[in-house]
Amino acid sequence: MIYIVLIPLLLACFIPFISKFKDKIHTGIFVFIIPFTIFLYFIRFIGNEFSPIHQTYKWIPSLDINFNFYLDGLSLLFVLLISGIGALVVLYSIYYLDNSERLGHFYVYLIMFMAAMLGVVLSDNIFVLYTFWELTSISSFLLIGYWHFNERSRYGAMKSMLITIFGGLSMFGGFILLSVITGTTSIQAMIAQADIILDSKYLPLILGFILLGAFTKSAQFPFHIWLPDAMEAPTPVSAYLHSATMVKAGLFLVARFSPIFSGYEWFFIIVSIAGIVTLCWGSYMAVRQTDLKAILAFSTISQLGMIMAMLGFGTKIAVFAAVFHILNHATFKGSLFMVAGIVDHETGTRDIRKLGGLLTFMPMTATLALFGTFSMAGVPLPFLNGFYSKELFFDSAIHLTEGISGTASFLIQVIPYLAVLGSIFTFVYSLYFFFGVFRGKTQLNQLPKKPHEAPFGMLISPIVLVLGVILIGLFPNLVNGTFIAHAAESVYGSEVVKELKFWHGIDSTAFQMSLVVVGIGTILVSTRKKWNGVYKLLPGKLSFNKAYDWLISMLDVYSNRITRSYMTGSIRFYFAAILATTLVVTFTFMFVTNGFTIQFNELAEVTIVEIAVVLLMIAAAIGTIFTKHNVAAILTVGVVGYGVAILFVIYRAPDLALTQLVIETVSVALFLLCFYHLPKLEKNDETLSTKTINIFISVGFGTLLTLIAIASHSTNSFNKISDYFIETSHSLGGGDNVVNVILVDMRGLDTLFEIAVLGIAALAIYSMINLRNNKEEK
Amino acid sequence: MEIIISILAGTLFATGIYNLLQKQLLRIIIGTVLLSHGAHLFILTMGKLKTGAPPILIEGVNEYTDPLPQALILTSIVISFGITSLLLVLAYRTVNENNTDNMEQLRGNEHE
């Protein structure tokens, strides 16, 4: 299975080369092969008999990060969605995107996304899963910003990335906690240790972090705001990433971890509330939108909320319905996005106020939209798959009593009513979408293009999806036993058997709820203009987008301010800051580790000569600060240098003394040569505070160094390696001067580099002087 | 004596750093020179002072001064000489190009 994830990534590298020939043949035709092959590869796993497949490839074994691929019912469902819808979307994009677009970029991003998404649903290792998870965020960012010359695209891309990556990082935190507690990085191994996790005191943190990741990715309230802005992406992308696959990654994550958390009351409370609120808010807001894709975006939000709520319920029916609806939603919403793309493509606008009466112009598209919207609305007809999952949703909402008590019991009372409320608005926006576009008065003068039916190639993909809607609707048990039941089983933990049938009898509560939805929904649709004013009250001026924008602009302003406060452009300031930090850190470290020691025995005796030299040097060193004349300053530095040479003589280092004398003489000469060209030293005109800080830093550093020197001299943690040099100098190096032998034999390479450094310095000096000459000659 | 030399090295460091924090290029170069002197003495004290004869092998002598710090310092002296001369020429060029050796005037502008 590793090849299934990695080969698309490899093949994606070749897409830019293929796209060179895009004028002759559309790049998408080649790309189509990739998802289609993967779909064919996985479709063979469908069947009544299915057992999970586990494969491991070592990646970073020392950190327990490996490609542990695990294909169970849930992964299989997602893999088929990703590759199947992926193939259809690529097919659709061949007609949607013109040759003049940057096709190479588009398909690279798309295939990169597909591979990442496959990685997310197949990984059993949480860190590998996280890596792929972020890769989907990045490819989503690139695809939303595909038309990067649009300001709105850039804004939407940025927003989606900031929100999803924020969630991703918090999820990563949850993962780390999980792996620390359980000592494993495999999800399946964690499920086996669910007791340990449930007993851990970090459980609320883990749950919160992971759910934050899932909610941001799946656009749950109040993180839903990125999804409408993501609609700036090309429509194939919206159909693929932002309705069928990527936004379902959050659902996948919740489903994957629900065997662990399902025993935890807060899991039920948080996930159910988030889901139900998202369902109601999304469907309520969808009716207000005028852009076709915005309606679909809010409808996706509400549908995701519905699935999330069902995963939160966690009962047998609910889990089954959730998994079933993941499939159903992908079919009808995918086709509706493609319909919206066709309408946009053929009329030049997506504004529902300008559209209308397109039924006569595009009968095929209208028929497809009819099936899609009615299925989404949950209209009780036996050939619409949306109705089945909607009814299962009601069914699960009224049968929540299984093992729930305490604070959660209030929720059980409210949830059925909220479910109906959300579904009423779902019904309203579905019909609003269909009737607004295809019925009503035609306003040809409002449309930028004369509308006509789409080319057949563009219709293939939505037709396939609508056929899926009808087939699942007519023969629900076709997909039930073969893979939906397997998927539900891997979420629920034990076998889920559910016979799907259309007619449950007139006295079934779920059916009555559906009738209420259709009844009230129809009234609301026909009187939509009359109650439209309600949006002035709610949300009114309340807007999560404004909160987001405010947060981002504040972040901008303050980070700018903070950075400016220390990036002053003054190197002296940087240097002082670095020194001060080093000072504080080293001092603290030495104090904490008790590093300062002092030892008075074994010291060399003190002689008058040495004291005199030392005093002279100290005086000269301090003198350099106060001299106001170039020559005087250079000479005082010279005094220090010669003083060092004298100390070398006293301390029995003849080679050092010689070198130091020569170098010091040359240096002083060099200084004197240069000083003629350098400006005169000026009086120190700094403010008292700067002076004090400088004095403080330098004296502090001097003290620190003295203490370290004493401490290092006073400790004998290790044996000296010098004895080795003294012993072997003659036998190995063939010389009696040990220092020389060390330099040219033992550490010969070091010396070679030293010479190289000198050579480079000489070249630099030469070129700097020469450059001037050339300039002056000119 | 080691303690006294340690204090000397510390003083050299303190004066060196104070010079480094000044505005004028010449002072900064003087600072680096003082700093390297301090570092050499620092390394020297680590190997203990006057523990034996100079590290040149002679028959009959068993105690020698630690040769390793000396080798390190020898390398360091040469390198710091290279740096000093490079800095001097660099300062000289800078003054030639910009007509100032003041670090505050040489700093980059806002929008770089």
- Summarised one tens digit per residue, pLDDT across range A698-744 is 999 999 999 888 888 777 777 778 888 888 888 888 888 888 898 88
Of B50, B70, B85, the CB nearest to A765: B85
Summarize pLDDT for A641-681 with one digit per residue, the tens: 999 999 998 888 888 999 999 999 998 888 888 777 777 77
Cα-trace Rg, chain B: 19
Residues of B in contact with A648 (CB under 8 A): 44
What mean pLDDT do residues B25-52 have? 87
- What proportion of chain A, given as a percentage, has pLDDT over 90? 36
- Closest residue by Cα to residue A115 from A6, A34, A211: A6
Alpha carbon separation from A624 to A105, A640, A655, A665, B16 (Å, rounded): 63, 10, 27, 18, 9
Q: Which fold has domain A571-721?
A: Four Helix Bundle (Hemerythrin (Met), subunit A) (1.20.120)
Nearest residue in A to B84, CA atom: A667
- Helix H segments across A378-508? 385-398, 409-438, 456-474, 477-479, 485-492
Q: Do B7 and A761 touch (CB under 8 A)?
A: no
Summarize pLDDT for A246-271 with one digit per residue, the tens: 999 999 999 999 989 887 888 888 99
Sign for the pseudo-dihedral over CA of A96, A101, A104, A110: negative
Residues of A in contact with B88 (CB under 8 A): 670-671, 674
Of B77, B85, B100, the CB nearest to A660: B77
Of B48, B74, B90, the CB nearest to A739: B74
Minimal Cα–Cα distance from A238 to chain B, Å? 39
> In this complex, is the C-beta atom of B43 within 8 Å of any C-beta atom belonging to chain A?
no
A778 pLDDT more than 50:
no
Query: What are the domain boundaries of chain A?
Result: 1-261, 264-532, 571-721, 722-778
The two three-digit tokens of residue A478, written as one number: 């076709």
Residues of B in contact with A622 (CB under 8 A): 11, 15
Residues of B in contact with A635 (CB under 8 A): none
> In this complex, is the C-beta atom of B23 within 8 Å of any C-beta atom belonging to chain A?
yes
- CB of A439 within 8 A of CB of A356? yes
Of A654, A667, A765, the CB nearest to B54: A654
**A684 confidence band (pLDDT: 50, 70, 90):** low
Q: Do B78 and A651 touch (CB under 8 A)?
A: no
The pLDDT of residue A412: 82
The two three-digit tokens of residue A43, written as one number: 């479709």
Of A624, A653, A663, the CB nearest to B65: A653
- What proportion of chain B, given as a percentage, has pLDDT over 70? 95
Question: Per DSSP, what are the bridge partners of residue A56?
Answer: A68
> In this complex, is the C-beta atom of B61 within 8 Å of any C-beta atom belonging to chain A?
no
What mean pLDDT do residues A284-313 have? 91
Residues of B in contact with A684 (CB under 8 A): 22
- CB of A521 within 8 A of CB of A283? no
Of A569, A618, A701, the CB nearest to B17: A701
Tell which of A613, A618, A625 to mutate to test the B interface (max B CBs under 10 Å). A625
What mean pLDDT do residues A275-290 have? 91
A763 pLDDT more than 50:
yes
The pLDDT of residue A117: 93
The pLDDT of residue A131: 93
- What proportion of chain A, given as a percentage, has pLDDT over 70? 97
What mean pLDDT do residues A64-91 have? 91
Question: Per DSSP, what are the bridge partners of residue A351?
Answer: A291
A539 pLDDT more than 80:
no
Tell which of A568, A722, A730, A745 to mutate to test the B interface (max B CBs under 10 Å). A722
The pLDDT of residue B110: 54
- CB of A106 within 8 A of CB of A153? no
Summarize pLDDT for A493-530 with one digit per residue, the tens: 887 766 777 777 777 788 888 888 888 988 888 888 88
ipTM score over 0.90, yes or no? yes
Q: A561: helix, coil or strand?
A: helix
Q: A38: helix, coil or strand?
A: helix
> In this complex, is the C-beta atom of B82 within 8 Å of any C-beta atom belonging to chain A?
yes
The pLDDT of residue B112: 45
Give me the domains of chain B, ranges plus CATH numbers.
Answer: 2-50+64-106 (1.10.287.3510)
Question: Per DSSP, what are the bridge partners of residue A123?
Answer: A69
Task: Say how many Å lie between the first and final Cα of chain A, rounded.
Answer: 69
> In this complex, is the C-beta atom of B93 within 8 Å of any C-beta atom belonging to chain A?
yes
Mean pLDDT of all residues in chain A? 87
Determine the length of chain A. 778
Element (H, E) at A187: helix A187-192
Minimal Cα–Cα distance from B79 to chain A, Å? 7
